[in-house]
A and B are shown apart, each in its own frame.
Chain A
Amino acid sequence: KMAEPAREWSDEQLKSDDLPKKDIIKFLQDNAAHSFLNEHKLLGNIKNVAKTAKKEQLVIAYNQLFVSKRFKGTDPVEDVTEQVKAVKVEEKPKEVKAEVVDEGPPKYTKAVLKKGDKTNFPKKGDTVSCWYTGSLEDGTVFDTNIPAGAKKKKQTKPLSFKVGLGKVIRGWDEALLTMSKGETARLEIEPEWAYGKKGVPDSKIPPNAKLIFEVELVSVD
């Protein structure tokens, strides 16, 4: 239980013009029980309370507080309500990062076609390079970066990007973090972790399409 606060101001001081309303309000808000404040209409932003409350009312409230001894902590369940109700009204809402809630099991499967070195696994933010071929469930290949002919592969560069940062579809971000350098895997990605309800009409991916990728993790930096 909190110790009773000291009575700072005398009646004369209270009524004086030198003592601004907001000082009294602040004291009351800091020390009075929530229900007390509610009854005396002293809840909310100090500026606003100062606008609506008259000096006389504040003086009365101040005296009343010490008479009734309804200080903070004297209300039942005070602590919880205090925390909840103490949100100042005019403050800007805090930046709350949208939490990605993991709901359920991963929405992709991986089958290893060729083992990697099992040592070099990429971490979030690492740059990875891949050869890949993407196809739909019916076998249609919609994209690949593997050039025809082994000779050309020497001149072409694999796709590079920073993994785990949402630059690619989620199925890729999640799967690549489980692959090691040199590994080739077949990924079957559910639409929720691919292009979802919209698909990519411009690239011939229909809505709600499950995508199949054969990915070779060439390098990790």
Chain B
Amino acid sequence: MNEDKVHEIIQRWRETPEEYLKPEDYQQIRDVGAACLSGGDGQQLLKFIQDEKNQGIVKSMGCGLLAPLVDELVRNKKSHDHCQAAITQLTKTCSSRTLLESFLELIEDMDPGAISETILVLLPHLQTVLLQLDENQAVGVGLALSALHKQLSRLPVPYTQQQEEDDEHGLCRCCVALVTFTRPFIDGVKKDENCNPTPEDDELKAEILKFCMLSLKEPLLEAELNQDRKSTLWLFAVEIMVILPAIKESLPGLLFFSSLRKFTTMDTDLSKESTACLAYLLFVQLIAMDTFPVVFSPVFILQCNMEHINQLLSRKKESHLLKGLALFAKSLEKVEDNSLPVGLLDLESFYSAPQNLRQVLTDCPIQHLRESGLKVFQLFINKLDAEAKHKFFRCMLKTSHHAGVEGYIVNNIRSQIQSSIKVGEANTWFLGTELLPLLELVLSLPQAAETDLLTNMDKIMESLNLLRCLLMRDKEMKSDADVWEEICRIKDEYLKMLRVCISMSRAYYSAEMKALKEEQKLRVKEAKEHARSTRLLKAITVKHDKVTHMSPEVQYQVLQSALVTFDLMESLVVRIDEITEEKQGKPH
């Protein structure tokens, strides 16, 4: 389009009243503006906007120039100054309401490859526009923050220090910019608190709270935060924790008593994850800890945090699990050992969180999480009182269906028995009649004689160890004759079954080994014959097509180690029998 044509159009627009402007006109100004910028004529565009004679046009249709100007700013550093000046002029001239609409459209349609750049460009201007709104400011702020956050959450969250410093996708920069963006609105609300807070203020507070909650979920819940390394995202977290009291949201209110309030503008999943992150930031990273009341009992804090812990442990994301485990450990450390009563285990979160933890131990592929998880698991056990331990052990033995976990629990039971004996109490949860239901669970084979000894090895070995300890302490155990009789009965049944199981397994594996050896012999024989008959031909190595993908050597090793395991088990059983006989021979 040549200059003359442009002048013609501008002239026409100057003379057309607003009501008569058509959609084509709105589109045209946009196109002309874009063409101008791409042609390097940004100065011209600025002049056009600033020209007094064009104020009418700018007022009615100027918003259409917003998108091309922002676009240009994002792409071209050179045109920075006049583009900025142009947008500033627009924000002075156009109606704030229409400008807001244009900004919202812009945010929604922004180039996914230039999210952070676009946000950084438009934020200051958007802020100006919102501050100019004389009514429905809260709604406007809310819409803007939601739209911005939606785009922000598309950016990948850095998970190493290097990534965070590089900030390749600009997430960190945007978070900082957003905080700056919200500041005047928060200050406005704070100022009004001194006089009289209006319903508009309440609305604004609600919108800002929503933004905080959204940010807690994304990116903060995904981020790796470390109080020793105050990264940009860490500082963002601090800012969020500062904003909350500024809008009169108390931390105990959000964390402990949130069931009493309804987050009307958010769905429950959002608020659950957000408050879980909040609990983590407060109790683990100690952000704003100095503002938190120091009157709550440690058990109450643990109880409240268990919901958040459960939420964090229920997701299979490393970032969530790490935080969940840390919060769990921190909350448990606050309570005394052997203090948590059995009634707590009836609470849904107190049942689910350890179950989720157990699942981390058995299913999570990330080793360091399993290791931390195990520490937390033991810490949890240590904090339960005797009755609660008893119930928890029974529960785990019945529900975990995993020999490693079961073995670990049996080991714990053994420790409890030993310490009960040491303390010398006659009737505790780990001696006397209360011990028997536990023993039934410990000394049992899940599929009776057909139990796979190898998969269940951990539990069986621990059970045999426990049995051996019990028998060594027969003096203390025999104080209750009926109980001792029951123990012996349970033991005898178990060992009888186990012996059958071992001999069956041994027979099976020995047969397998024999078959393998025979197969090997046959193969060698075949190879020799084959070599003899094809001496004149080049030797071709034939690849063994194994269904198991294991070479015969490896298979042999596996079978061999299985047999060794059975021997080991049997030797323990024999030892137990020896001890039993020794003790029977001894006079009482």
Contacts and interface: CB of A to CB of B under 8 A. Distances in A.
B193 A195 contact: no
Nearest to A170: B297
A87 B433 contact: yes
Given A143-B295, A197-B336, A198-B334, A96 B387 contact: yes
Interface in A144-187: 145, 151, 155, 157, 159, 166-170, 172
B289 interface: yes
Contact of A155 (B193, B289, B333, B433): B193
A83 to B, nearest CB: 13
A193 to B, nearest CB: 10
A195 B299 CA distance: 11
B452 interface: no
A120 interface: no
Interface string B429-444: 1000110110010000
Nearest to A211: B294
A93 B297 contact: no
A48 B489 contact: yes
A132 interface: yes
A44 interface: yes
Contacts of B292: 203
Interface in B505-540: none
A214 B286 CA distance: 26
B290 interface: yes
A89 B334 contact: no
B468 to A, nearest CB: 22
Most chain A CB neighbours (cut-off 10 Å) among B248, B429, B440, B482: B482
A52 B489 contact: yes
A191 interface: no
Nearest to A157: B250
B239 interface: no
A196 B336 contact: yes
A134 interface: yes
A200 interface: yes
A85 interface: yes
A142 interface: yes
Given A87-B433, A203-B289, A98 B387 contact: yes
Contacts of B294: 134, 142-143, 200, 203, 205
B385 interface: yes
A93 B289 contact: no
B13 to A, nearest CB: 52
A197 B482 CA distance: 41
Contact of B387 (A44, A93, A157): A93
A202 B289 contact: yes
Contact of A89 (B293, B333, B486): B486
A172 B482 contact: no
B300 A166 contact: yes
Given A90-B436, A92-B437, A202-B286, A145 B385 contact: no
Contact of B390 (A93, A155, A159, A172): A93
A17 interface: no
13 contacts: A43-B485, A48-B489, A87-B433, A89-B486, A98-B385, A98-B387, A143-B293, A155-B248, A159-B293, A168-B297, A169-B296, A170-B297, A200-B334
Interface of B: 193-194, 248, 250, 252, 283, 286, 289-290, 292-300, 333-334, 336, 341-343, 385, 387, 390, 394, 429, 433-434, 436-437, 440, 482, 485-486, 489
What 5 pairs between A and B have smallest CB-CB spacing? A143-B294, A98-B341, A167-B300, A203-B294, A155-B193
